[in-house]
Structures are given as structure tokens and as C-alpha cells.
């Protein structure tokens, strides 16, 4: 399997990921974004379909990264838009893509991404940083800090753990988003950039994961860091 990570990931985090038999692809720095998120996976890339190994990348990503996708036999399409510094020009790929649902502020979704998702249940939310705000546990359950997303998706039959914001490190900003602190390795294992025992609401997260038979694994023994998600293909 292949995991996409921020280029600033530590050697320790890489070592643990490799021990899980994951090949690592680092998202390069994007100079059009502000420093806190200039390597965030969920801003520059999204997974369209795991079965066909297909992703969407922002159109200006480096040639070197595209060559790496080719080496790993990953199919890709490019966004129609270019990333820019300010919201909403940096959110057009930041959707929560599930097996049967596509969740985003649909007003701002890149048209090339949206065209691949028309067969799914499209759900509009106000929060444009949708993937940043959501840590999916499965296709019908996830964790979020965003009350707007929580209120909207409660009406669609999702099981949602709503946590207060804060206590997540994102250098350069007051705090990060829960969706950026890790991701599923497989249906039974979720990796975290940090240790839930050092997170103010860690016990609630662990209980929610246990409910779905998911074991957390910690890539480092520090407070949770928002690195823009861990996406696995």
C-alpha cells in the first residue's frame, strides 16, 4: 500500500509507517499556500477511487511528484483550478470522499473532481475545509470538531463523534483540525500523528474507535499534530 504524507513528516513517523508495509509518497511544498498548510495532503490531493488507484492532484504540482505517481502505477487527473493562498481558493480538493457519499461545500468543489462523484450521494456543507474537519472511521461514521458538519450529517444517518476544537498542534496557527491528525491504514487500524493519551479528548476518540473495532497506532509519542491527513491507497 501507498500513503501520502506532508513533506515535513519526521524520520520517526516514516519509520513507523514503513514498519506497517507502507510505501511513502511525500506531498511537495506548494509555494501558493501559506506555510502551515503548504505540504498538507488534503489540500493538494484527494483519492477518487481506491480500487482503480485513481487520485486527483492540483494542476500545478511538481513534475517530479507526477513521475512518482507513474512509478507506483497510480492513475491521476488534474484539477481545473490552481491553488492560491486564501480561502476559498485553497479548498477545492478538500472534500470528504466516502464509498457512497461525497461531502463538501459543493459551490467550491473543483469541477474535475465533482464530475467523478456524480454517482454518489452529494451532500453540501458550509465548511469548505471538509476533509480537514473530518476523520473518517468508515463510510457511515467519523469524528469532527465542526458543529455545522455535525448538524448537517446527523440528518443523513451518520454516526458522528463531535469534539470541541483545540489541543491539536498546527504550527503557525492557534490549533489544527481533527481530520488532519491521521487516517485509516485499513478497516482495523488507524494511524495518528501523535498519541491520543496526550490529547484532551483522547479517551473519547479511543472509545469511538473501539466501537468499530479499530486499533489506534501512534507514529510518535507527542501531542496530536495536524499534518493534513494521512491518505492510504
What is the C-alpha separation between 146 and 132, in angstroms, rounded?
10
What is the C-alpha separation between 155 and 149, in angstroms, rounded?
10
What is the C-alpha separation between 167 and 199, in angstroms, rounded?
7
How is residue 79 written as a grid cell? 484539477
Task: Give the model confidence (pLDDT) of 162-202 as tens digits.
Answer: 999 999 999 999 999 999 999 999 999 999 999 999 999 99
Q: How many domains does the chain have?
A: 1
Kind plus residue range of the DSSP H or E element containing 232: strand 231-232
Amino acid 224: pLDDT? 98
Cell 492557534, residue? 174
Question: What are the φ and ψ backbone dihedral angles of 200, each rounded to 5 degrees?
Answer: -55, -35
How is residue 19 written as a grid cell? 514498519
Mean pLDDT, rounded, of the chain: 97
Task: Give the model confidence (pLDDT) of 57-95 as tens digits.
Answer: 999 999 999 999 999 999 999 999 999 999 999 999 999
User: Which structural domain range is residue 178 located in?
Assistant: 2-232
Task: Give the model confidence (pLDDT) of 72-81 as tens digits.
Answer: 999 999 999 9
Q: What is the mean pLDDT of residues 4-10?
A: 97
Give the CATH number, domain containing residue 101.
3.75.10.10
Task: Give the model confidence (pLDDT) of 121-163 as tens digits.
Answer: 999 999 999 999 999 999 999 999 999 999 999 989 999 999 9
Q: What is the mean pLDDT of residues 14-23?
A: 97
Amino acid 213: pLDDT? 98
Task: Give the model confidence (pLDDT) of 40-57 as tens digits.
Answer: 999 999 999 999 999 999
What is the C-alpha separation between 105 and 152, in angstroms, rounded?
12
Amino acid 66: pLDDT? 98
Amino acid 89: pLDDT? 97
How is residue 196 written as a grid cell? 491520543
Q: How far is CA 91 from CA 110, 169, 198, in A?
A: 9, 20, 29
Amino acid 159: pLDDT? 97
Q: What is the mean pLDDT of residues 105-112?
A: 98
Amino acid at each position: 500500500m501507498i500513503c501520502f504524507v506532508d513533506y515535513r513528516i519526521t524520520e520517526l513517523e516514516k519509520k513507523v509507517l514503513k514498519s506497517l508495509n507502507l510505501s511513502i509518497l511525500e506531498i511537495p511544498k506548494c509555494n501558493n499556500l501559506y506555510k502551515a498548510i503548504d505540504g498538507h495532503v488534503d489540500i493538494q490531493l484527494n483519492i477518487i477511487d481506491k480500487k482503480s488507484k485513481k487520485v486527483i492532484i492540483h494542476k500545478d504540482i511538481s513534475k517530479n511528484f507526477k513521475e512518482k505517481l507513474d512509478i507506483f502505477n497510480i492513475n491521476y487527473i488534474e484539477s481545473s483550478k490552481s491553488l492560491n493562498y486564501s480561502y476559498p481558493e485553497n479548498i477545492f480538493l478538500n472534500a470528504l470522499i466516502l464509498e457512497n457519499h461525497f461531502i463538501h461545500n459543493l459551490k467550491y468543489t473543483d469541477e474535475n473532481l465533482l464530475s467523478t462523484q456524480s454517482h454518489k450521494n452529494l451532500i453540501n456543507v458550509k465548511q469548505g475545509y471538509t476533509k480537514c474537519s473530518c476523520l473518517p472511521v468508515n463510510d457511515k461514521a467519523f469524528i469532527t470538531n465542526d458543529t455545522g458538519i455535525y448538524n448537517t450529517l446527523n440528518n443523513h444517518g451518520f454516526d458522528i463523534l463531535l469534539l470541541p476544537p483545540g489541543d491539536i498542534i498546527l504550527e503557525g496557527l492557534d490549533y489544527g483540525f481533527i481530520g488532519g491528525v491521521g487516517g485509516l491504514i485499513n478497516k482495523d487500524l488507524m494511524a495518528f500523528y501523535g498519541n491520543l493519551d496526550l490529547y484532551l479528548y483522547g479517551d473519547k476518540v479511543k472509545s469511538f474507535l473501539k466501537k468499530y473495532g479499530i486499533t489506534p497506532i501512534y507514529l510518535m509519542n507527542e501531542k496530536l499534530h495536524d499534518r493534513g491527513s494521512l491518505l492510504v491507497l
